[in-house]
Amino acid sequence: MDINEAKNNFRDIISKLNAFNHAAGVIYLDALTAAPSDTAEGRGKTLGILSRYMYDLSTGEPTRETVKYLLENTDKLDERLIRELKEFDRENEYMRSIPAEEYVEFTVLLNEADAVWHKAKEQNNFASFCPYLEKIFDTNRKFANYYKPGEDAYDVLLDRYERGMNKETLDKFFRSLRERIVPLIKKISQAPPIDDSFLHEEYPIYKQREFSDYLMKVMGIDRTHCGIAETEHPFTTNFNRKDVRITTHYHLNDFTRSMYSVIHEGGHATYELNCGEQYDGTAISGGNSMSIHESQSRFYENIVGRSREFIEYIYPEICRIFPDQTAGHSAEDFYRAINKSEPSLIRIYADELTYPLHIMVRYEIEKAVISGQAKVEDLPDLWAEKMKEYLGVTVPDDTRGVLQDSHWSGGSVGYFPSYALGSAYGAQMLQAMKKDIDFTAAVKEGNLAPIVGWLTDKLYRHC
């Protein structure tokens, strides 16, 4: 093998893996948006076969030889390719540590678990999802041990989402958040309540769809490269930097839920759509760590989307689309209503202030289950206990409790802290951004281009 041959081999492997990922991603998107409820079985078989091909292609001898050869000859390679090889090798080391059968089995399990979770959430039936959740936690622990034997399994999982992150750092981070947030929440609870009842009138779904289109336009999202669909739990997925999809969930009596989901997922999409073109189709394409990704979604959702200037800019359009519901209410009323801080049950609809406490509940539960201190079957009670302790709310059922998020059914353990870290990163980015551009003026004019431009220059284009 000479250097050019090795480089070509590597490009070929990455192209093939990207194609498999693309196919699996479309199947996954279809499962969550359009596929009828009882279709998981056939999809599971297909995903099992695809994941086996991906596993073999990634970990097989020809790939390992190619990567090894290139890493031994880095003096002949450019910096970008070296970084790509190192990232690929790191991911590969993880994959290789897992036996092929178990890797495929987990993919198939997740496909099934997702279908079971949807039904369990709908029917408030934790018992039906419990055996799947047990397997998901057990598998995560087992894979972490395969990958880094002897290391703390939860630390290994955290590091997969945010490199270098561990319990020690997060414990400190959450402690300092708690110390400041909890007294503030108490203080707010003693203030006169804010009336947000007009946000809970009926907002027809077809009009909410029209409003989503408007929001994406204000955010500068190119609709020829970014679609929107409807799912139980909103998310973003990207196939490449020219094909990004976001989803939302409409609630008839609570239209700002979807509004902030669209802005949140729109933040993820903005990142993906503005990633460096030179990285497209490489092993390092797409956004950086999950916390950096969430820093963008949370930045648009809270820092831009909940600002007075943004609300003042979009409020005339809200009034145009929903004249009856907003009659007699000013932009200031709307601004105050969407910034109302109040302990609540659902994470994704929580206000900016109480949100990190929702993350803390999940973080502590994951930590306890992975270390063996808590059993999965006890999670509904543990969840209710922690929600009472941190937020003072009573969890009425598992649908609005332990079953609310799709992360665990999707196999992700260790992901949740990314949201709280992302919120903190976003706040720091704002401080840096304000030194270079007039953030407030840009939002006031409804022209987010300078903000997107700054973030593209400092963050997005670097991947």
| Catalytic residue IDs | 265
Burial of residue 42 (number of CB atoms within 10 Å: 0-12, 13-18, 19+): exposed
Tokens of 395: 């969890």
| Options 119-127, 134-142, 177-185, 293-301: segment touching Zn ion (CB under 5 A) | 293-301
Quote the CA–CA distance of 364 and 370 in Å, as a whole number.
Answer: 10
Number of neighbours of residue 99 by Cβ within 10 angstroms: 11
Least distance in angstroms from the C-beta of 408 to Zn ion: 16
237 or 297: whose CB is closer to Zn ion? 297
63 or 297: whose CB is closer to Zn ion? 297
Using a CB cutoff of 8 Å and minimum separation of 24, what contacts does 169-176 make? Answer: 170/363, 170/417, 173/420, 173/421, 173/424, 174/356, 174/359, 174/360, 174/363, 174/420
Burial of residue 95 (number of CB atoms within 10 Å: 0-12, 13-18, 19+): middle
135 or 407: whose CB is closer to Zn ion? 407
Q: Closest Cα to residue 318, out of 240, 452, 181, 203? A: 203
Least distance in angstroms from the C-beta of 29 to Zn ion: 16
14 or 269: whose CB is closer to Zn ion? 269
Beta bridge partners of 147: none
Please give the residues from 207 up to 266 whose contact with Zn ion meets the rule CB under 5 A. none
Least distance in angstroms from the C-beta of 427 to Zn ion: 16
Please give the residues from 33 up to 92 whose contact with Zn ion meets the rule CB under 5 A. none
- Does position 297 interact with Zn ion (CB under 5 A)? The reply is yes
| Options 90-98, 202-210, 273-281, 295-303: segment touching Zn ion (CB under 5 A) | 295-303
| Options 114-122, 220-228, 297-305, 339-347: segment touching Zn ion (CB under 5 A) | 297-305
Least distance in angstroms from the C-beta of 92 to Zn ion: 26
63 or 302: whose CB is closer to Zn ion? 302
Least distance in angstroms from the C-beta of 320 to Zn ion: 29
Quote the CA–CA distance of 409 and 94 in Å, as a whole number.
Answer: 21
The answer to whether 344 and 189 have CB atoms below 8 angstroms apart is no
Angle at 355 between CA 172 and CA 412, to 5 degrees: 75
Least distance in angstroms from the C-beta of 377 to Zn ion: 29
274 or 297: whose CB is closer to Zn ion? 297
Least distance in angstroms from the C-beta of 274 to Zn ion: 16
| Options 70-78, 101-109, 216-224, 296-304: segment touching Zn ion (CB under 5 A) | 296-304
Beta bridge partners of 244: 226, 238
The answer to whether 236 and 424 have CB atoms below 8 angstroms apart is no
What SS3 state is found at 400?
A: coil
Q: Are strands 243-248 and 226-230 parallel, antiparallel or unpaired?
A: parallel
| Options 86-94, 99-107, 294-302, 410-418: segment touching Zn ion (CB under 5 A) | 294-302
| Options 57-65, 290-298, 316-324, 355-363: segment touching Zn ion (CB under 5 A) | 290-298
**Interface characters, 119-158, with Zn ion (x: CB under 5 A):** ----------------------------------------
Quote the CA–CA distance of 346 and 396 in Å, as a whole number.
Answer: 12
Please give the residues from 180 up to 209 whose contact with Zn ion meets the rule CB under 5 A. none
- Dihedral sign from CA coordinates of 263, 268, 271, 275: negative
Amino acid letter, 112: E
208 or 261: whose CB is closer to Zn ion? 261
**What residue is closest to Zn ion based on CB?**
297
Tokens of 165: 């992150």
104-140 burial code (b ≥16 CB/10 A, e <16): bbbbbbbbbbbbbbbebbeeebbeebbebbebbbebb
Least distance in angstroms from the C-beta of 413 to Zn ion: 17
Tokens of 85: 């090889």
450 phi and psi angles, rounded to 5 deg: -65, -30
Tokens of 386: 């922690």
285 or 412: whose CB is closer to Zn ion? 412
Q: Are strands 226-230 and 236-240 parallel, antiparallel or unpaired?
A: unpaired
Least distance in angstroms from the C-beta of 303 to Zn ion: 14
Tokens of 198: 């007009």
137 or 419: whose CB is closer to Zn ion? 419
Tokens of 239: 């196939």
| Options 35-43, 126-134, 254-262, 291-299: segment touching Zn ion (CB under 5 A) | 291-299
Angle at 265 between CA 236 and CA 134, to 5 degrees: 55
Q: How many residues at the interface with Zn ion, by CB under 5 A? A: 1
Residues in contact with Zn ion by the rule CB under 5 A: 297
